[in-house]
Amino acid sequence: MMKFPLVSIGVLALAGLLTGCATVKETGRTQLMLVSPGEEAQMGLSAFAQIKKQEKISTDRALNDRIQTIGKRIAASVGREIPNAQWEFVVFDSAAVNAFALPGGKVGVYTGLTKLASSDDEIAIVMGHEIAHVTSRHGAERTSQNYAVAGVGLIAAIGMEARHVDPAKRNLILGAYGLGATVGYVLPFSRLHESEADAVGLRFAAGAGYDPRAAVTFWRKMAAQGGAKPPELLSTHPSDATRIAELQKLAPQFMPLYEQSKKRFESVEKAAEKAEMERFMKGK
Q: Closest Cα partner for 201 from 186, 212, 188?
A: 212
For residues 220-235, give the mean pLDDT: 89
Q: Which DSSP string do the residues of 170-211 spell out, in sequence order?
A: HHHHHHHHHHHHIIIIIHHHHHHHHHHHHHHHHHHHHHTT--
Would you say residue 14 has pLDDT above 80? no
Percent of the chain with pLDDT over 90: 61
Q: What pLDDT score was predicted for residue 109?
A: 98
Please state the domain extents for the chain.
15-275
Q: Active site residue: 26, 40, 122, 130, which one?
A: 130
Length of the chain in terms of residues written: 284
Widest pairwise Cα distance in the chain: 92
**Tell me: the pLDDT tens digits for 26-84?**
999 999 999 998 899 899 999 999 999 999 999 999 999 999 999 999 999 998 777 66
Q: Closest Cα partner for 235 from 190, 184, 170, 173?
A: 190
- The interaxial angle of helices 187-207 and 240-250, nearest 10 deg, is 40
Q: 132-145: b or e for each residue (b if 16 or more CB lie within 10 Å)? A: bbbbbbbbbbbbbb
**Tell me: the pLDDT tens digits for 85-124?**
789 999 999 999 999 999 999 999 999 999 999 999 999 9
CA pair distance 158, 228, nearest whole angstrom: 40
Question: DSSP class of residue 107?
Answer: E
Q: What pLDDT score was predicted for residue 229?
A: 84
pLDDT band at 18 (very low <50, low <70, confident <90, very high): low
Does an H or E element contain 249, and which? Answer: helix 240-250
Q: What pLDDT score was predicted for residue 5?
A: 43
pLDDT band at 2 (very low <50, low <70, confident <90, very high): very low
**Tell me: the pLDDT tens digits for 188-226?**
989 999 999 999 999 999 999 999 999 999 999 999 987
Instruction: Decide if 40 is catalytic.
Output: no
Residue 200 class from Cβ within 10 Å (0-12 exposed, 13-18 middle, 19+ buried)? Answer: buried
Q: Considering only residues 77 and 17, tell me which one the structure prediction assigns the higher pLDDT.
A: 77
Q: Considering only residues 59 and 21, tell me which one the structure prediction assigns the higher pLDDT.
A: 59
CA pair distance 191, 174, nearest whole angstrom: 24
Residue 33 class from Cβ within 10 Å (0-12 exposed, 13-18 middle, 19+ buried)? Answer: buried
Does an H or E element contain 16, and which? Answer: helix 6-19
Q: What pLDDT score was predicted for residue 284?
A: 59
**Tell me: the pLDDT tens digits for 134-186?**
999 999 999 999 888 888 888 888 888 888 888 888 888 888 888 888 888 88
